[in-house]
């Protein structure tokens, strides 16, 4: 069975601080995919990134960066110089090969960025 754990239920930071959201996963599959989604107050989940299990390169997109480490089964997400608009619930998710859309989600981390 697959499992995703986001141990941080809530994080509160002040604008311009860096913040890292942790994600640890469990799967027996050798090929799998990891995702991060953002859920702003409007409620609509927004895709941020997909990573496959064979690609451990870190990725940076603007103020966002992701660190994938198979050795520790982690896929952490860092926001640099956080902004109030980053306030949202962030979900880490896992899917097996060939089933991109059938996701196992973590419980989510509520991020609040204060001005």
- The residue ranges that bind another protein (CB under 8 A) are 33, 35, 37, 42-47, 50, 91, 93, 95, 98-108
Cβ nearer to another protein, comparing 82 with 95: 95
Which one, 68 or 91, has the nearer CB to another protein? 91
Residue 52 to residue 37: CA distance in whole angstroms: 15
Nearer to another protein, 82 or 108 (CB): 108
CB of residue 85 to another protein, shortest distance in Å: 18
CB of 53 to another protein, least distance (A): 12
Identify the CA nearest to 109 among candidates 34, 32, 20, 17.
Answer: 20
Three-class secondary structure of residue 72 per DSSP: helix
How far is it, in rounded angstroms, from Cα 50 to Cα 71?
Answer: 18
Min dist CB 86 to another protein, Å, is 19
Closest approach of another protein to the CB of residue 36, in Å: 11
Closest CA to 108 of 39, 50, 43, 12: 39
């Amino acid at each position: 069975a697959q499992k995703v754990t986001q141990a941080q239920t809530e994080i509160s930071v002040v604008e311009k601080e860096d913040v890292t959201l942790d994600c640890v996963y469990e799967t027996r599959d050798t090929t799998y995919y990891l995702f991060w989604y953002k859920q702003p107050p409007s409620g609509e989940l927004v895709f941020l990134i997909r990573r496959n299990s064979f690609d451990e390169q870190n990725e940076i997109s603007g103020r966002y960066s992701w660190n994938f480490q198979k050795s520790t089964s982690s896929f952490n997400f860092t926001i640099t110089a956080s902004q109030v608009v980053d306030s949202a619930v962030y979900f880490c998710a896992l899917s097996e090969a060939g089933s991109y859309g059938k996701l196992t989600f973590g419980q989510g981390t509520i991020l609040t960025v204060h001005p």
